[in-house]
Amino acid sequence: MKYHGALLLSGNKMLSFSNESEEYAIKNFLIPFINGQVIETSTNGSETHQSLINMKSAVAMSIYRTETDIDHSKFSFSFAHGNIEREYGEFDCTSEFVEKVKELQTNPSTRSLLELAFRKPENQIFVIMKFGDPLLDSAYEGVIKPLGKEFDICVVRVDEIQDSGKINDQILENIAKSRLVISDLSGERPNCYYETGFSHALGKDIILTIHKDSDVHFDLTNYRFIKWGTEKELRDRLRERMSSMLRDRS
The full set of domains in the chain, from first to last, is 2-106 (no CATH), 119-247 (3.40.50.450)
- pLDDT for 116 equals 64
- pLDDT for 109 equals 54
For residues 232 and 219, the model is more confident at 232
C-alpha 28, offset from chain centre:
8
For residues 113 and 66, the model is more confident at 66
C-alpha 14, offset from chain centre:
21
Amino acid identity of 33? F
- pLDDT for 113 equals 62
pLDDT digits (tens, 9 = 90+) for 20-52: 988 788 777 877 777 676 777 665 444 445 567
Work out the number of other CB atoms within 10 angstroms of the CB of residue 19: 15
pLDDT class of 106 with cuts at 50, 70, 90: low
pLDDT digits (tens, 9 = 90+) for 121-171: 889 999 999 988 999 999 999 999 999 999 999 999 988 876 655 667 788
CA dist 158 and 142 (Å) reads 17
Enter the pTM of the model: 0.57
Nearest to 185 by CA among 154, 212, 222, 167: 212
* Residue 71 reports pLDDT greater than 60: yes
Please name the residues in contact with 68: beta carbons below 8 A apart, sequence gap of 6 or more: 2
* % of the chain at pLDDT higher than 90: 34
Nearest to 203 by CA among 3, 4, 28: 28
